[in-house]
Amino acid sequence: MFTAFITNSAFMASNDPGNSPWGRGKNKPTSIEDFLDQLQNKFNFNLGNKFIIWLVLAAVAGIWAWNGFQVINRGELGVVRRFGAIVETPGPGLQFNPWPVYVMDVVKVDQVRSMELGFRSERSRSSRGGEFLRESLMITGDENLVNLQMVVQYRIDNLPNYLFKVWDPLGTPEGDTLRDAAETALRGVVGSMEIDEVLRGEGRSVIQIQTKSHLQELLNTYQTGLLITEVKLQLVEAPGPVKAAFDDVNSAKEDRERIINEAKAYQADILPKARGEAQKILRSAEAYRENKIREAEGDTARFLSQLREYRKAKTVTRRRLYLETMSEVLSNVDKVIISGRVGSRALPLLPLLDMVGGGGGTRSEKGGGQ
């Protein structure tokens, strides 16, 4: 402060020759030492050793130069202003910007930040439906009310715009500017949808995607320098007085969807089996048809062959057919064959069936004393 007083006094004296400590242009100092001597004589200051004065001046100059050095850490970005005008945006490293000619603002730009709409995480859960109801209550396209809570994640993309392009009551665009823009974007998306679409699970993803797009357009228009990385809906429900009724409706719709899905699953399971069984039956019928055709063709060929043989030798063919037929018939009949001499002496009530055990066996006895 003493050095500043000396400098200001000298400056004022140089602008007013009448008040100059060395008179009206006479005996002007030719060096700093002369200046200090004349200043001491004029104001009767006891400055002591001139070496101390030089030491004080050097210390002041060193402090001024030291304060001009600033370090930008990893993940940070700086904005250097020269007399208020932006001249550069340096990255991480050591920077020298002497005050008051240069001023540098350093901000962490790689950090992903978040903003909550419709609730505040540091507050109790009971406040989410009352204190922030103005933010969370929104009207849908079919004129129904719905309660939504949303989290917006963002980071700084353009530091000069972030610092100087937008005036916000809270100091930076991530204050009221971001909150108002997010609320505007969300209300615009919800207002274009019906409440059934909003409450369904598929509707949430649509709301998040469209809200992120509209919000980024607004922030770009405002030149806030913010980049939206993600929009997440935390709560989507009907207002308290009608929440129970909406829950019943949603439960019924979920049951309907579940039953439809189960029916489709059963259809997908039973139809392939039925088709496979039908194909199996068709293949079996085709095989049976082919078998019968082959048998009929074989029988026809055999009959035609026998007919040709019969025409060549009728007696022989007739006898052969008779013997083949009797052989085929008698092979399946229970019988006892005896010679004529034995048969003439046999009793008429002879239990022949018991003798052969009631089975289909054949017993043959040949004559000649038996």
185: phi then psi, degrees, rounded to nearest 5: -65, -45
Whole-Å CA distances, 332 to 322, 329, 351:
16, 6, 20
DSSP character string of 183-236: HHHHHHHHTTS-HHHHHSHHHHHHHHHHHHHHHHHHHHHHT--EEEEEEEEEEE
pTM: 0.52
| Residues ≥6 apart with Cβ < 8 Å to 102 | 68, 80, 81, 82, 87
* CA atoms 162, 164, 166, 170: torsion sign: positive
Which run of H or E residues covers position 146? Answer: strand 145-156
pLDDT in tens, the chain (370 residues): 333 333 444 434 444 444 444 444 445 555 666 666 665 565 555 545 566 666 777 777 667 666 667 777 787 878 878 777 777 777 777 776 767 777 777 788 888 899 999 888 865 444 444 568 888 889 898 888 888 999 999 999 888 888 888 888 777 777 889 999 999 999 999 999 988 888 877 888 999 999 999 999 999 999 989 999 999 998 888 877 777 777 787 788 888 989 999 999 999 999 999 999 999 999 999 999 999 999 999 989 988 888 888 888 888 888 888 888 888 888 877 777 777 676 666 665 555 555 555 544 444 444 444 3
> Cα(324)–Cα(162) distance, rounded to whole angstroms?
113
**Tokens 């489709």, located at residue:** 264
Q: Do the beta carbons of residue 164 and residue 146 sit within 8 Å? A: no
